[in-house]
Structures are given as structure tokens and as C-alpha cells.
Amino acid sequence: MMLMRVIAAFALLVPGAALAQARAAQPVTVEVIAIGEIDAPATYLTMSASWSVEGTNQAAADKAKLAKLAEVLKVLADAGVPNSAITELPADDPLRITTAPKDLLGIEETADAATADAATKPAEPSWTAGDGKSIRVTSMAQAAAVRTALDRISVTLSQPEAHLDDQAAVYRQAKVLALRNARLDGDAYAREMGMRVLRVSKISETGNNIMLPGFQEKMQRLMGAGPDGMKELFKSRPGTVHVEAAVVVEFVVAL
């Protein structure tokens, strides 16, 4: 009789144990935000050059401006910059100054403290004329050479701005890198739980929060980076274009 009771109790326990084991073996999902970053070498770089000259009247200032332009073009040609790589600045660019009297531009005339005969002195320049060009170069080395050459003739040059011919292609490469990083994180989660990744159930570039996944991931890194790390997050290497892409990947993991 006792044996029958034990057998009956065991029969009742076996389904419960099997159910508990089945529940433990159920797959779970892991959602990962990952980012891919690439510092792509620039296809070309642009710089803005500007200069100003003076003259005793408008005609003299305009003539001096043309002479300065010829000097600038010669220096650029000697530095290996073709005419096709030299273009006009936008008309509203602050580096581009029109010809105007100096007093209208807020430039004070230099007072002559001496008592020399004014009739024998050359007329003080009273007009100023400015101009500028956008210069396209192919490397940081060429940009440095152009800067050195233009410095010698008192031409101001902006810092090089890097560009890519096909930024969309580099962006796709960053997406692939983001997916690889997501898989590394997914494997790490699964391994820690004694599981393995079965499949990817979802990939999203928009996420499901108010913030885009890239911005969300960046904010998380900022919070843990500290002051010095924050500077590095927004720093790009000279001569490169920083491209990044973020994705949200949902993995299914199980025993």
C-alpha cells in the first residue's frame, strides 16, 4: 500500500518538474543598442582664403585688389592648386568684403603727428577693398603647403574642412560595423546567462524611444566618460570625416 502511494506521488511530481524545466528552457529576447564609427579619409578638403588691400580712392583700391588676386593665384599655382579648384566665396560670406571708404568700415585714419609739409607727402590710403576665394585641395599635406605659401603674402586661411565624395557608402559601412558590435554584445549577454544566440528577431535604426538610438547611446557614453572623455567623443582627426551609425538589434537567446 505504501509503495503504491509513493508511486502515485512520484507520478504527480514528474509533470510539474518537466513543466518547470520546459519553462526554464524557453527562449528569451535581448535588445542591444550598438554604434559603428568610422573616421574616413577625406576625398578632398576646402579652405576659405581672404585678404584686403587699400587705396587712396575707389579706383586705386579696386586696382590693388586685382593685383592681389593675381598674386594669390600665382602662389596657389606654384603650390599645385589648379584654377578649377579655386572658386568664389558666397556673396554673403563675412570673409568677402566689398570696396568701401575706410571710415564706413569703422577703420580710423592714422593721425600724422609730424609737422612736415602735407603737400610733399603721399596721400593716405582712404579706401579698402577685400576679396576671398574657396580653395579645394586633395590632402592635409597640400593644405599645409598652401597655408605656408599664403601666409607669406598676408592672406588669411581658414582651417581645412574635410569632405567625402560618397558619404552614403561610408554610412553603410558604419551600419555594418554597428551590427557586428551588436552581435558581440548579444553573444556576451547570452554567454553570461549560460545561453547562446539563436537568431536575430529585429533590426531597427529608429528604436522605440523618443531619442534615436545613436543619440541615446552617445548620451550613455557621455555620462560615463568624464570631462576628458567627453572631448574625445566629439573630436575628429584632421583630414578625416567622422561617420557613425546606430542600430537596435533584438536577439533571441536560449539554452
Mean pLDDT of the chain: 82
Which of residues 53 and 232 earns the better pLDDT score? 53
Q: What are the tens digits of pLDDT across the range 138-194?
A: 999 999 999 999 999 999 999 999 999 999 999 999 999 999 999 999 999 999 999
pLDDT at 18: 46
Which of residues 24 and 207 earns the better pLDDT score? 207
Q: What are the tens digits of pLDDT across the range 48-103?
A: 999 999 999 999 999 999 999 999 999 999 999 999 999 998 877 776 666 677 66
Distance CA 120, CA 237 (A): 57
> In the chain, what are the domains?
25-41+166-254 (3.30.110.170), 44-106+122-163 (3.30.70)
Q: Are 72 and 51 in contact (CB under 8 A)?
A: yes
Question: Checking phi first, is residue 188 left (phi over 0); if not, alpha (psi -120 to 50) or beta?
Answer: alpha
> Which amino acid makes up residue 185?
D
- C-alpha gyration radius of the chain: 34
Give the model's confidence band at 9: pLDDT under 50 very low, under 70 low, under 90 confident, else very high. Answer: very low
DSSP bridge pairs for 251: 30, 200
Report CA dihedral (12, 18, 21, 26) to the nearest 10 degrees: -130
**Cell numbers standing for residue 45:** 578638403
